Amino acid sequence: MAYYLGIDTSCYTTSCALVDEEGRLVQEARKLLEVPQGKRGLQQSQMVFQHTRALGELIQSLTLDQPIAGIGVSGFPRREENSYMPAFLVGLNTAKSLGHCLEVPVHIFSHQENHIWAALREIGEIPEGPFLSLHLSGGTTEFVLCERIHKSGFKVQIVGGSDDIAGGQLVDRLGVLMGLQFPAGPSMETLGRRIKYNVDSVLPVSVKESTISFGGPYSAGQRWWQSLQHEPIDWTDRESFSREKNAQILAVSVFHCIGSSLEKALSHILTEHNITTLITAGGVMANTYLQDRLVHWGHHHDLDVLCVSSKYSADNASGNAYGAKVVEGE
């Protein structure tokens, strides 16, 4: 028996994982980067520092009671020319050093492929033909046409997505405006559940063919919140809760907007590509409302929408570990 080690140093999560020769997840460890209250993100240099500080401790927390047969790591955001982000160098250089010392192969995937691999590991199968993947996170909103490459990752073609800010940025920017901690997705989902999403959206939907704009909805949400003369809510102050209903309405509106935008873009994509399977991934797609909505929409449009659990939809290294296992076995 041997293990495959996965490493991922994405923008806001440091993570590592082990899978066995059967593709089963054996262990994992991850840590969210620390973002100061009221801030909407970190500079790349700050990410690099926090990844460097955390990655060694996370790897040391794994119980390596079997030999490592291969390593998978995210080396860049996407498989395209000039796709580069310093945060990924922390994981990449660590993986290369470990691979050299252990004399095992290192398989370099994109962060996008890591999400795809993580979803396929949990789903338990790899589609034989082309399939569609949706990556919806704090930095990305992309519909990607995917096809397996033997002894490698995936041939990918972006066929839709946002042309300004990502869906996660819409969530985080409006969440921070309301006084929520970054990343705001989990808190926004909790707010939405309190009124069961049964309110009319105060945000517009802007989609042209398969191209989504979330910048316009963000501006509209910002104006709506400020028109109520709201400062960010102090969520530790019970007196502030009198304004919580408006926060709930805005939270629900955000996910209504994202869901409607995805459906409109998908409608166009399906007119151009004969695809029957959609696999979702990314931190925003951990939202149960969005998952349920897309699955329901797929049932009525001959599209099998496969959503993974929130734990493995968010950033994690299990995909890189599983990808290394699959590629080594081919």
Crossing angle of helices 185-194 and 244-272, rounded to 10° = 110
Instruction: Quickly count: other Cβ atoms within 10 Å of residue 111's Cβ.
Output: 29
What would the pLDDT profile of 230-241 be if each residue is shown by its tens digit? 666 666 665 555
Domain with CATH 3.30.420.40 in the chain: 3-128+314-328, 167-274
CATH number of 167-274: 3.30.420.40
Q: How far apart are CA 196 and CA 133, in angstroms?
A: 28
| Largest distance between two CA atoms of the chain | 62
Mean pLDDT for 82-104 is: 94
CATH topology of domain 3-128+314-328: Nucleotidyltransferase; domain 5 (3.30.420)
Residue 222 tokens, joined: 């910002």
Number of helices (H), then strands (E), in the chain: 10, 12
Q: What is the DSSP letter of 242?
A: G
pTM (2 d.p.): 0.86
Q: What is the pLDDT at residue 30?
A: 96
Percentage with pLDDT > 90 across the chain:
72
Mean pLDDT for 43-51 is: 95
Extended strands (E) in the chain = 3-9, 13-20, 25-32, 68-76, 106-110, 131-136, 141-148, 154-162, 206-208, 211-213, 277-281, 304-307
Q: How far apart are CA 185 and CA 240, in angstroms?
A: 20
